[in-house]
């Protein structure tokens, strides 16, 4: 039983980091109405940049520099990709993010190389005991950081004036424009936040798995979470991330041996499929409000 | 009608998608504190005129290609929409464009986004609730779930939260029951009188609009064809027949603009 709890807690901590990646998608979807295919590549770029900056700066300055880079990137994306596509069909925007993804990948690997790199942010991976439970120190730190960021983002969106404006933009961007909300700034802000999320995810996952091309594939982890939670729900992304993290870990440990392991990679999709059957908008996806 | 009007639209031309010419030489004025109606059938160009003023046009790939729009003596036809709001013009778009996943109160508060005097926002929220007591009751309900009339109140109240000098109201009567239309028009008149907000009201419902407006313009096919004091317009034979549906022969809809034009040509 203790072992099961340890497995579940380990899964939950990893799940928080999944939530974070999924949140990156949700934020962009809510504000620009587009599924941002480049989110994984933004994560890779952020991690690559951080590793690069670490060779010249101390840790805090390197993180700051990477953050500045992600914000500059957000402003550039707004000006170069989003602005010319105003009032075009959403599919055009989606295609543009695919192009953007390849572009970012190319830039990142062009500057910092394609060889796998380690990223050490100084948190050791020695497990420690709380009340008889073995818990990974690293996962705990990651979970706490991701959890703190998630909490801050939720507060920002629900309570701040800018957050309210971003929610308005996501409901009806022309109406938002009509009350004086500057769309360009709103888009730049939400992409900058997605950049911040990408950076934090890049730090956590990069120091876990190493920084290399495959880091951009953590976006695939986000897909079942988005299906489960609904692509436009912040609480949905959080809870679905936790559910996926815990359940895949439990499945791997307890069901894995019977089927030869490797359940972790497809279990979340299975779960998502089952949920879709019953809740087509995801567990928390916002319903399309239709009134006559 | 005035030496220094609040708003002066001078001979503007509007083109969508670089090729579709929709407004052809439109000129109109709104005096300080005025309540002016812009009447016309569906597709006449009323919304386009309002969007040219608020510059929401750009978001729809439209452009003012000729002419000048001045607000308080300054050109605004090259300013972006957020800047126009900051200068004191807010458009209430047609079709009750509430933010459906925001609560009534959050939706109203978005109207104050561009204001610097944030300490007065709370007071103005109470002001909006005093004009629309029903919204106060529903302040925590998402606007997607309230009635059509309440939604119209939300979008007007939200515009008021920006403390505009000029409100551009696009078809507030559309799709609402006559009693509700009356209620909303009464409040619009009160906002105009008590809060000194000038109003440019685009309407197909000419009878209703001419009841509250002091001056009116009539638009057809992207051109203004007639203007005058509301009383004069109400007594005008053509307006009575084609826009108010009042004629000896019987009720005619203003959809018969073609017929109207034919007759006009024949008259001149
Ligand atoms: N975004 C647009 N692109 C192209 N044509 C448009 C657009 N919006 C309106 N139009 C055209 O401009 C004309 C005037 O429309 P509109 O200003 O909405 O009229 P009204 O508000 O009086 O009903 C119509 O013929 C309409 O088809
Ligand atoms: Mg219209």
Q: In which band, very low, low, confident or very high, does the pLDDT at B39 lie, cut at 50, 70 and 90?
A: very high
pLDDT at B261: 47
Q: Is residue A106 part of a domain?
A: yes
Q: Is residue A149 part of a domain?
A: yes
- Domain hosting residue A212, numbered range: 2-278
**C-alpha to C-alpha distance for B107 and B105, rounded to whole angstroms:** 5
Q: In which band, very low, low, confident or very high, does the pLDDT at B266 lie, cut at 50, 70 and 90?
A: very low
Share of chain A above pLDDT 70, in %: 96
**C-alpha to C-alpha distance for A258 and A264, rounded to whole angstroms:** 13
Substitution target from A175, A232, A286, A291 for chain B, most B beta carbons within 10 A: A175
- More confidently predicted of B236 and A49: A49
- Work out the mean pLDDT of chain B and round it to a whole number: 90
pLDDT at residue B258 is higher than 80: no
Closest Cα of chain A to B81: distance in Å? 6
A177 close to A184: Cβ distance less than 8 angstroms? no
Q: Measured between CB atoms, does A172 come within 8 Å of chain B? A: yes
pLDDT in tens, A161-181: 999 999 999 889 899 999 999
Complex prediction ipTM: 0.87
pLDDT in tens, B93-147: 999 999 999 999 999 999 999 999 989 999 999 999 999 999 999 999 999 999 9
Q: Measured between CB atoms, does A85 come within 8 Å of chain B? A: no
Task: Write the DSSP assignment of A247-279 as a string of letters.
Answer: HHHHHHHHTHHHHTS-HHHHHHHHHHHHHHHH-
Residue A16 phi, psi (nearest 5) = -60, -40
- The residues lining ligand 1, judged by C-beta closer than 6 Å to any ligand atom, are B 16-17, 20, 22, 40, 42-48, 60, 62
pLDDT in tens, B171-215: 999 999 999 999 999 999 999 999 999 999 999 999 889 999 999
pLDDT at A286: 61
Determine whether the interchain pair A180/B91 forms a contact, defined as Cβ–Cβ distance below 8 Å: no
Centroid of ligand 1 to alpha carbon of A220 (angstroms): 43
Closest listed residue to residue A200, CA positions, set A154, A141, A248: A141
pLDDT at A272: 86
Q: Is residue A290 part of a domain?
A: no
pLDDT in tens, A64-93: 999 999 999 999 998 998 888 876 787 888
Q: Is residue A286 part of a domain?
A: no
Determine whether the interchain pair B93/A174 forms a contact, defined as Cβ–Cβ distance below 8 Å: yes
pTM: 0.85
- Work out the mean pLDDT of chain A and round it to a whole number: 87
Q: Is residue A288 part of a domain?
A: no
CATH number at residue A28: 1.10.3470
From B85, B101, B114, residue closest to A167, measured CB to CB: B101
pLDDT at B56: 95
Q: Which of B 132-151 lie inside 8 A of A, CB atoms? A: 142, 144-145, 148
Q: Which of B 151-180 lie inside 8 A of A, CB atoms? A: 155, 158-159, 161-162
Residue whose pair of structure tokens reads 């953007």 in the numeric block? A100
Q: Is residue A119 part of a domain?
A: yes
**C-alpha to C-alpha distance for A11 and A19, rounded to whole angstroms:** 12
Q: In which band, very low, low, confident or very high, does the pLDDT at A288 lie, cut at 50, 70 and 90?
A: low
Centroid of ligand 2 to alpha carbon of B95 (angstroms): 9
Lowest pLDDT segment from A97-106, A228-237, B254-263: B254-263
Share of chain A above pLDDT 90, in %: 34
Report the number of distinct structural domains present in chain A.
1
Q: Is residue A285 part of a domain?
A: no
**A262, burial (CB in 10 Å: exposed 0-12, middle 13-18, buried 19+):** exposed
Please list the alpha-helical segments (H only) found in A55-89.
59-77
Q: Which of A 231-260 lie inside 8 A of B, CB atoms? A: none
Other C-beta atoms closer than 10 Å to the C-beta of A62 total 19
Q: In which band, very low, low, confident or very high, does the pLDDT at A34 lie, cut at 50, 70 and 90?
A: confident
Q: Is residue A283 part of a domain?
A: no
Residue nearest to atom 7 of ligand 1 (CA): B16
């Amino acid at each position: 039983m203790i072992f099961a709890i340890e497995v579940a807690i380990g899964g939950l901590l990893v799940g928080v980091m999944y939530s974070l990646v999924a949140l990156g998608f949700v934020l962009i979807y809510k504000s620009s109405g587009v599924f941002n295919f480049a989110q994984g590549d933004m994560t890779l770029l952020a991690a690559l940049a951080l590793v690069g900056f670490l060779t010249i700066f101390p840790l805090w300055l390197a993180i700051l520099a990477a953050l500045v880079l992600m914000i500059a990137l957000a402003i550039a994306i707004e000006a170069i990709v989003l602005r010319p596509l105003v009032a075009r069909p959403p599919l055009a925007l989606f295609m543009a993010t695919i192009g953007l993804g390849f572009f970012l990948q190319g830039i990142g690997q062009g500057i910092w190389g394609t060889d796998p790199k380690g990223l050490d942010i100084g948190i050791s991976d020695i497990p420690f005991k709380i009340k008889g439970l073995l818990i990974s120190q690293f996962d705990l730190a990651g979970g706490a950081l991701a959890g703190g960021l998630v909490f801050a983002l939720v507060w920002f969106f629900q309570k701040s004036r800018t957050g309210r404006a971003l929610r308005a933009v996501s409901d009806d961007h022309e109406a938002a424009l009509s009350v004086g909300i500057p769309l360009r700034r709103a888009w730049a802000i939400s992409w900058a936040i997605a950049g911040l999320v990408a950076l934090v995810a890049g730090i956590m996952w990069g120091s876990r798995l190493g920084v290399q091309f495959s880091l951009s594939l953590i976006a695939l982890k986000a897909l079942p979470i988005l299906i489960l939670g609904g692509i436009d729900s912040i609480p949905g992304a959080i809870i679905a991330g936790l559910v996926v993290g815990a359940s895949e870990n439990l499945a791997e440990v307890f069901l894995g041996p019977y089927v030869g392991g490797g359940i972790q990679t497809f279990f979340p999709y299975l779960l998502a499929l089952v949920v879709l059957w019953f809740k087509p908008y995801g567990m928390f996806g916002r319903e399309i409000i239709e009134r006559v | 009608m005035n030496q220094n009007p609040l708003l002066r639209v001078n001979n503007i031309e509007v083109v969508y998608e670089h090729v579709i010419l929709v407004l052809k030489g439109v000129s109109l004025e709104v005096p300080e504190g005025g309540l002016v109606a812009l009447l016309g059938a569906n597709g006449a160009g009323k919304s386009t005129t309002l969007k040219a003023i608020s510059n929401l046009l750009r978001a729809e790939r439209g452009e003012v290609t000729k002419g000048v729009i001045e607000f308080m003596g300054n050109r605004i036809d090259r300013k972006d929409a957020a800047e126009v709001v900051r200068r004191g013009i807010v458009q209430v778009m047609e079709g009750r464009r509430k933010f459906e996943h925001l609560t009534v109160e959050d939706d109203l508060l978005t109207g104050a986004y561009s204001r610097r005097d944030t300490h007065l926002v709370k007071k103005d929220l109470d002001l909006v609730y005093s004009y629309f007591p029903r919204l106060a009751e529903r302040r925590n309900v998402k606007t997607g779930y309230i009635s059509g009339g309440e939604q119209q109140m939300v979008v007007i109240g939200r515009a008021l939260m920006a403390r505009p000098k000029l409100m551009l109201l696009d078809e507030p009567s559309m799709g609402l029951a006559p009693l509700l239309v009356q209620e909303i028009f009464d409040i619009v008149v009160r906002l105009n009188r008590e809060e000194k907000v000038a109003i440019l009201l685009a309407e197909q419902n000419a009878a209703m609009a001419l009841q509250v407006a002091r001056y009116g313009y009539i638009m057809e096919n992207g051109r203004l064809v007639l203007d005058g004091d509301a009383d004069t317009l109400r007594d005008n034979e053509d307006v009575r027949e084609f826009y108010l549906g009042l004629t000896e022969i019987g009720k005619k809809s203003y959809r018969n603009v073609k017929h109207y034009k034919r007759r006009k040509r024949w008259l001149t």
